[in-house]
Chains A and B, each alone.
Chain A
Amino acid sequence: MAALDELTDAYEKARVDPAFQEELDRLGRDYSGRPSIITEIPRFARHCGGARVFLKREDLNHTGSHKINNVLGQALLTKRIGKTRVIAETGAGQHGVATATAAALMDLECTVYMGEEDTERQALNVVRMRLLGATVIPVTSGSRTLKDAINEAYRDWVASVDTTNYVFGTTAGPHPFPAMVRDFQRVIGVEARAQMLERGGLPDAIVACVGGGSNAIGIFDAFLDDASVRLVGCEAAGDGVETGRHASAISGGSPGVLHGSQSYVLQDADGQTQASHSISAGLDYPGVGPQHAWLATLGRAEYWAITDAEAMDAFRLLCRTEGIIPAIESAHALAGVIKLGPELGPSATILVNLSGRGDKDVETAARYFEMLPERAP
């Protein structure tokens, strides 16, 4: 708790310190390439009932996803509180790569915890982190995925808190993480809102994928007061929510406490966390950020469940129609647009947060589409 209190205190000071914000803006501009552009995707949109569809291109950020926005903020904070080491959890590896990158940039020691199962399906990202100088520790406890990587990072942190800051990757976990990560990701929505207004007006809907929920809250936040803008979060439905093999905490879970916050959780009657399933390692988490639970309760945002098959169809469609290979996480949002477009009709404008690029997913996609011979067991 002392570590969280210390972090909360440091963050409260930093967020109102113009020098901190200036440094973060400078890094965003000169290091990760902000603002990210908006791309209209008319050939893809033909499959979406004729609505105009725009992408917010977080995939073009340095390191290939929105994760860098948050990590640069938390790494700067680590320097401010005088700690010399960062730890992080990672599912798909995007947050781990971003953390390893910021650690290299700011001369911090870095250890990343990654479920053993994820180190296998995202082997390339393990190498990227190691190239950047990070130590990657495969986690063999529990279900060997993201939630267990978080458990292991906490265990590290309670023993190393004097020197170490935990750079948390999403808008879940204990306070101050949900609020702090949202604030560092807010830039996505702030930019996108101005960019859409320049193009003629607010979109009718915004669609983003939701695992823990950081890219979604990052783009939603600036539009919360725009009542005309529908907000749609796409959770991973794996084989389908009805099969029990999914990662849709809001659609298929119930209220509970996991990793220090109260939200929706996949759990049994005894409160034991249930394993989640998704083709996307980055969405394979049995909880969801508390802000999304709140938006769902208020009815301000709606949350859809997108199956592996729907996401992979959308993945291929974007590749073939627009020459953009999306992260499989983001492909869940694209699948949401394919469903939402016909509902809104041809006069509608939809903005999608393309949270990451698909380089890391090439092997998963190759296996899914049977483009490679099966690996020997």
Chain B
Amino acid sequence: MSALSERLAGVKAEGRAALIGYLPVGYPSVEGSIRAMVAMVEAGVDAVEVGIPYSDPVLDGPVIQRAAEAALASGTRVADAFVAVEAIVAAGAPAVVMSYYNPILQYGLGRFAADLAAAGGSGAITPDLTPDVGQAWIEAATARGLDHIFLLAPSSTPERLHMTVAASTGFVYATSLMGVTGERSAVGGAAEKLVGRAREAGAQAVCVGLGVSTGKQAAEVAAYADGVIVGSAFVRLLVDATEPRAGIEALKVKVGELAAGVRGQA
């Protein structure tokens, strides 16, 4: 069982949902992003999703796109994600990477899995890889004891839903709405329905991503999901910060708000 699965089980035993925070490695710099990720752990996220910036992030909205472009422009490499994973694990939280498929493919599936496992990572989320064409990655990840986490959308057909639930370990990533990453004023009812469908299909843990930015929204989602994934709301604080230290301070406050949310204290 991965450190991620253990943490999710522990959180469940506390009778609440987990808070999972996403940040892209390399923004505003590799060191700066790692400092921000560690600060998130200290401020109360239960796990961290380390984004690997990609040139063509078709499932990301403008905030994460901008951060990824800046990270790439300043020379961020795939291997920088493993340094971040190591730091997060040392800070006491499980870490997974989130990467589009081509960077993993070019790094080498086996080499990527080996380096991620060696860094102490729990697994990877692959937003543009579906299990039916992802067998090679599933095998590489499984060989290193890594979780392979795939995405569900509200539009997922019953066949795809069953296939995705069956192929995912750690948790299943349920996207709350039809759209790209970014903050929304309301998360809406599609997420709850999707989580229910995933559970009926046998999913042990279902975490919900896309659109959550406030403690109140986190509390709503926490009422039915095993975890709440927050990305753009955190990234935006770093993008909007006048200087990195201020960004990290704002990030800690936001993590606190959302951590209270998943505990039903919003």
Assuming the contacts A158-B59, A158-B178, asked whether A5 and B160 have C-beta atoms less than 8 A apart, the reply is: yes
Q: In the complex, which residues of chain B have a beta carbon less than 8 angstroms from the beta carbon of A269?
A: 106
The reply on A377 being an interface residue by CB < 8 A is: no
Q: Chain A 150-171 against B: per-residue CB contact (8 Å), 1 yes, 0 no?
A: 0100110011111000000000
Q: Are A151 and B102 in contact, with the CB atoms below 8 A?
A: no
Q: Which of B34-42, B50-58, B85-93, B235-243 contacts A (4 or more CB under 8 A)?
A: B50-58
Chain A proximity of B134: nearest CB distance (Å): 11
Chain A proximity of B90: nearest CB distance (Å): 25
| A260 and chain B: residue at smallest CB distance | B128
Q: Are A1 and B128 in contact, with the CB atoms below 8 A?
A: no
| A152 and chain B: residue at smallest CB distance | B58
Which single member of B59, B72, B101, B156 contacts A2 (CB below 8 Å)?
B156
| A273 and chain B: residue at smallest CB distance | B55
| A162 and chain B: residue at smallest CB distance | B178
Main secondary structure of the interface of A (DSSP, over half): mixed
The reply on A201 being an interface residue by CB < 8 A is: no
| A270 and chain B: residue at smallest CB distance | B78
Q: Chain B 141-180 against A: per-residue CB contact (8 Å), 1 yes, 0 no?
A: 0000000000001011100100000000000000001111
The reply on B110 being an interface residue by CB < 8 A is: no
Chain B proximity of A68: nearest CB distance (Å): 27
A271 to B57, CA, bound (A): 12
Q: In the complex, which residues of chain A have a beta carbon less than 8 angstroms from the beta carbon of B101?
A: 257
Q: In the complex, which residues of chain A have a beta carbon less than 8 angstroms from the beta carbon of B54?
A: 271-272
Q: Chain A 231-252 against B: per-residue CB contact (8 Å), 1 yes, 0 no?
A: 0000000000000000000000
Q: In the complex, which residues of chain B have a beta carbon less than 8 angstroms from the beta carbon of A61?
A: none
- Size range of the interface on A? 20 to 34
Which single member of B55, B105, B157, B160 contacts A257 (CB below 8 Å)?
B105
The reply on A79 being an interface residue by CB < 8 A is: no
A162 to B57, CA, bound (A): 22
The reply on B77 being an interface residue by CB < 8 A is: yes
| A160 and chain B: residue at smallest CB distance | B178
Q: Are A258 and B102 in contact, with the CB atoms below 8 A?
A: yes
A267 to B101, CA, bound (A): 13
The reply on B256 being an interface residue by CB < 8 A is: no
Q: Are B102 and A259 in contact, with the CB atoms below 8 A?
A: no
Which single member of A147, A154, A267 contacts B102 (CB below 8 Å)?
A267
Which single member of B155, B157, B160 contacts A161 (CB below 8 Å)?
B155
Q: Are B69 and A267 in contact, with the CB atoms below 8 A?
A: no
Q: Are B153 and A147 in contact, with the CB atoms below 8 A?
A: no
| A140 and chain B: residue at smallest CB distance | B62
Q: In the complex, which residues of chain B have a beta carbon less than 8 angstroms from the beta carbon of A273?
A: 55-56, 102
A257 to B101, CA, bound (A): 7
Which single member of A2, A5, A158, A272 contacts B179 (CB below 8 Å)?
A158
A151 to B61, CA, bound (A): 11
A272 to B57, CA, bound (A): 10
Assuming the contacts A158-B178, A158-B179, A159-B180, asked whether A1 and B56 have C-beta atoms less than 8 A apart, the reply is: no
Chain B proximity of A368: nearest CB distance (Å): 29
The reply on A265 being an interface residue by CB < 8 A is: yes
A154 to B65, CA, bound (A): 14
The reply on B130 being an interface residue by CB < 8 A is: yes
A279 to B231, CA, bound (A): 39
Q: In the complex, which residues of chain B have a beta carbon less than 8 angstroms from the beta carbon of A270?
A: 77-78, 103, 106-107
| B132 and chain A: residue at smallest CB distance | A1
A270 to B99, CA, bound (A): 12
Q: Are B160 and A2 in contact, with the CB atoms below 8 A?
A: yes
A158 to B160, CA, bound (A): 16
| A154 and chain B: residue at smallest CB distance | B58
Chain B proximity of A309: nearest CB distance (Å): 28
Closest 10 CB pairs of A and B: A271-B106, A2-B155, A159-B179, A271-B102, A271-B103, A273-B55, A272-B55, A154-B58, A257-B102, A270-B78
